[in-house]
Chains A and B, each alone.
Chain A
């Protein structure tokens, strides 16, 4: 990969490299590291997913590459103009900045946002720069509250005084400066509804912790924020998800990294994080058996896939959970705890689990 330089320099260099090939009458080519399971491995040392060094060549003069090549250069030039003007664009913005019909054809440069998103991920790898460094942001999606004061672009923000919605986590958290962090641990949950419950119950105040959520898979901003607090303040991180293959995978991504973002695992993954619940044992211990949702075929096949992931096969604890879950053939949502009382989760379940250190690793 390219030596460490500034994002804008990296972009210009990419452009100049291609122009050089063009003036030599060569077929312009960009080397793109492959983002697929075939080029991803589990690094036992760092306990994160690592990207291999396989690359693919994207040529302009190739019938099946040409459009993708054009997209890559076009997105790079959009990013450069963003950096020049100091403005940030969302993934959706970039899609619209690139989208147009190529003159004299019926071909759209991009038809779907997934195409420009994928090119942006390619560029991160090619340039060794994160999306945020290229002034491209994901949609923000996440809330946090706790006894924390930060400074974001000159504004001082108290995470304990943000009303019922909490502080909304931006997509880029690189420039945030922590002024005060008073917490014993960090609790991340899969569901915004559960976060609202805990926030209303002033759980973070009572338990001296930070509570954070995203909806479904955690966005990059959320993951970066988790990682920074964990690393900079040595806060243990606990994860609360549904007990089903999808919830387990959310935990897996937070802990070890994901396949498509394996190249930045070191910035996103938190190998030390613990799985708090719901566990299959919790279902018995907290008498949730009558509040389960029957598995569908997709749940069963996903469970089978997940149980075979490298990083899970080594764990006896997890294999035991998978086995029991398979026998149960049903999922337990976090909200199943509400069957025991609306604030059962904040009054009983969470404090008890944390006190007993009843976690999975």
Chain B
């Protein structure tokens, strides 16, 4: 086992950077256009995560400058807590370095791969180093770094290091030069930042486009979402490999201690059941557990009934903020949102939120626009592979007043917002573009969509009803003078009197009339 472990270490150290070079599509650098988006996205993710963790209302500045048609300079600046000096090189120039991978906590990034991958991509395509400025408070000065990444050793190379003056109280500024292509429209940086603004209505985002246009997304609320809590993993949520790794590195001296300290929801009693079933002594040192024993423990976990993990660790956007976010960026007649109560897939707590905007300036001819988010990050690619899309297609929107062909997204003037919040969002691939198809997740997505669907349906019906009421009332009003004049001619009575009486009757009966008319 020691050999196997050694081997695992080596593989990790040797190949990560090279692996990236060969498989950059897995991380979202498939083509120049997507690379631009991914770079902005990783930096924005980090900035927002950092601000939220420090309870700072985020203020982001993004600038993209075109050097040539294929080369762009990107600047992302935030007002976050800043990064302590000696951490800067590792965070930006070492792959898989970060605080997020080992914790079970809802955050945007989860692998610690994003921004350093962007830095490496820049280095590989342009040869330029990544420039970082960071300041941790008004009392200290800012640290400036120019960094390179050694692709063989996966270690940072400091090209330049100095202390500089920076007018900002605190924050971080990242500047990269990468091979990229700027395009507008769907799946563009512009589109991405607009969606970020919707899902993060407490952030102000200022964006200077390559065309030197300044776009400001003002914050719509000063309320930060509640802090997400870190939780220990739930036994149902781990893979065998993960279990083995945890066994090797735990501080617990016995399996009993290992289970109760390193996992959530495993009591002494449950730990005993697991170990008994696996035929492994509960007093055994975790480090000494063999591969076969680990395998038996893994199976035994699956067969043991364990309480679902706590779900109060999640931090959804909230119905009110979703509506604020939608209102701010989309001019519509009706807004609705729902935050489902948390649920669990494979031991991982998750929560689904949905929002809807209808009518107004949203074009009505085409299929609806679906915007997907995972932990507040917009998902722009692989829409058709995503369980959010599946949930939308499997919902019968005709019940809610939209038209929909079989197996397709509904049509109508609608922006549909679907958000999954989780300590571990299951993506279909490392580039984090589509939510994997777990039945529990699809079920919750559908329930959330049905909730907002009902709200929409109510609005559409009420609106149509109100419109019909007005039309019908108008119709009677128009008919009355006609009837009065015909009746007057027929009966030799006075037209004015007939008309007056009909109008009195109409005023009195209109509500009943319209109700009866609808029942027919």
Which residues of A are at the interface with B, using a C-beta cutoff of 8 A?
11-12, 14-16, 18-19, 22-23, 25-28, 60-64, 66-67, 69-70, 73-74, 76-77, 80-81, 102-105, 107, 109
User: Would A22 and B476 be within 8 Å (CB), given that A11-B490, A61-B509, A76-B490 are in contact?
Assistant: no
Taking A18-B490, A23-B501, A74-B482 as given, write out 5 further A-B residue pairs in contact, using a Cβ cutoff of 8 Å, ordered by the A residue number.
A15-B491, A16-B493, A25-B508, A69-B483, A77-B489
Distance A76 CA – B497 CA, assembled complex (angstroms)? 20
A-B contact number at CB 8 A: 95
Stretch of B126-134, B319-327, B359-367, B510-518 with 4 or more beta carbons under 8 angstroms from chain A: B510-518
B478/A103 in contact, CB under 8 A: yes
Query: Nearest CB to that of A80 among chain B residues?
Result: B490
A63/B520 in contact, CB under 8 A: yes
> Within 8 Å of chain A (Cβ to Cβ): is B505?
yes
A62/B501 in contact, CB under 8 A: no
> Within 8 Å of chain A (Cβ to Cβ): is B475?
yes
Instruction: Kindly identify which residue among B487, B501, B513, B520 contacts A73, using a CB–CB cutoff of 8 Å.
Output: B487
> Within 8 Å of chain A (Cβ to Cβ): is B479?
yes
B513/A63 in contact, CB under 8 A: yes
Distance A18 CA – B476 CA, assembled complex (angstroms)? 17
A16/B491 in contact, CB under 8 A: yes
Instruction: Kindly identify which residue among B478, B487, B506, B509 contacts A107, using a CB–CB cutoff of 8 Å.
Output: B478
User: Would A27 and B505 be within 8 Å (CB), given that A22-B498, A73-B487 are in contact?
Assistant: yes
> Within 8 Å of chain A (Cβ to Cβ): is B87?
no
Within 8 A of A (CB), among B461-487: 472, 474-479, 481-483, 486-487
Question: Which chain B positions have C-beta within 8 A of A28?
Answer: 483, 502
Question: Which chain B positions have C-beta within 8 A of A25?
Answer: 501, 504-505, 508
Tell me the smallest distance from the CB of B58 to a CB of chain A, in Å. Answer: 54
Distance A357 CA – B288 CA, assembled complex (angstroms)? 120
Tell me the smallest distance from the CB of B442 to a CB of chain A, in Å. Answer: 43
> Within 8 Å of chain A (Cβ to Cβ): is B492?
yes
Distance A73 CA – B491 CA, assembled complex (angstroms)? 10
Tell me the smallest distance from the CB of B498 to a CB of chain A, in Å. Answer: 6
Instruction: Kindly identify which residue among A16, A60, A80, A104 contacts B483, using a CB–CB cutoff of 8 Å.
Output: A60
B504/A62 in contact, CB under 8 A: no
Instruction: Kindly identify which residue among B472, B478, B497, B504 contacts A102, using a CB–CB cutoff of 8 Å.
Output: B478
User: Would A63 and B501 be within 8 Å (CB), given that A15-B490, A16-B493, A105-B474 are in contact?
Assistant: no
Instruction: Kindly identify which residue among A12, A22, A70, A103 contacts B486, using a CB–CB cutoff of 8 Å.
Output: A70
Query: Nearest CB to that of B480 among chain A residues?
Result: A60
Question: Which chain A positions have C-beta within 8 A of B492?
Answer: 12, 15
Instruction: Kindly identify which residue among B491, B513, B520 contacts A19, using a CB–CB cutoff of 8 Å.
Output: B491
Question: Which chain A positions have C-beta within 8 A of B486?
Answer: 70, 73-74, 76-77
Tell me the smallest distance from the CB of B466 to a CB of chain A, in Å. Answer: 15
Question: Which chain A positions have C-beta within 8 A of B479?
Answer: 60, 66-67, 70, 102
Chain B count of residues within 8 A CB distance of the other chain = 31
Which residues of B are at the interface with A, using a C-beta cutoff of 8 A?
472, 474-479, 481-483, 486-487, 489-493, 497-498, 501-502, 504-506, 508-509, 513-514, 516-517, 520
19 A-B residue pairs with Cβ-Cβ distance under 8 Å, sorted by A, are A12-B492, A14-B490, A16-B493, A19-B498, A23-B501, A26-B505, A27-B505, A61-B506, A62-B516, A63-B514, A63-B517, A64-B517, A66-B476, A73-B487, A74-B486, A76-B486, A80-B489, A102-B479, A105-B474
Question: Which chain B positions have C-beta within 8 A of A15?
Answer: 487, 489-493
Query: Nearest CB to that of A109 among chain B residues?
Result: B482
Query: Nearest CB to that of B499 among chain A residues?
Result: A22
Sorted from nearest, which 4 A-B pairs have the closest CB atoms?
A15-B491, A63-B517, A15-B490, A77-B490
Distance A22 CA – B497 CA, assembled complex (angstroms)? 9
B472/A63 in contact, CB under 8 A: yes
Tell me the smallest distance from the CB of A26 to a CB of chain B, in Å. Answer: 8
Distance A61 CA – B493 CA, assembled complex (angstroms)? 20
Question: Which chain A positions have C-beta within 8 A of B506?
Answer: 61
Question: Which chain B positions have C-beta within 8 A of A105?
Answer: 474-475, 478
Query: Nearest CB to that of A107 among chain B residues?
Result: B475
Tell me the smallest distance from the CB of B515 to a CB of chain A, in Å. Answer: 10
B491/A104 in contact, CB under 8 A: no
Query: Nearest CB to that of B493 among chain A residues?
Result: A19
Tell me the smallest distance from the CB of A134 to a CB of chain B, in Å. Answer: 12
Query: Nearest CB to that of A66 among chain B residues?
Result: B479
B517/A70 in contact, CB under 8 A: no
Tell me the smallest distance from the CB of A188 to a CB of chain B, in Å. Answer: 39
Question: Which chain A positions have C-beta within 8 A of B504?
Answer: 25
B513/A62 in contact, CB under 8 A: yes
Query: Nearest CB to that of A63 among chain B residues?
Result: B517
Tell me the smallest distance from the CB of B111 to a CB of chain A, in Å. Answer: 63
A22/B478 in contact, CB under 8 A: no
Distance A222 CA – B264 CA, assembled complex (angstroms)? 97
Tell me the smallest distance from the CB of B296 to a CB of chain A, in Å. Answer: 74
Distance A196 CA – B395 CA, assembled complex (angstroms)? 70
Tell me the smallest distance from the CB of B465 to a CB of chain A, in Å. Answer: 13
B482/A102 in contact, CB under 8 A: yes
Query: Nearest CB to that of A104 among chain B residues?
Result: B478
Query: Nearest CB to that of B515 among chain A residues?
Result: A63
Instruction: Kindly identify which residue among B474, B476, B478, B497 contacts A61, using a CB–CB cutoff of 8 Å.
Output: B476
Question: Which chain A positions have C-beta within 8 A of B497?
Answer: 23
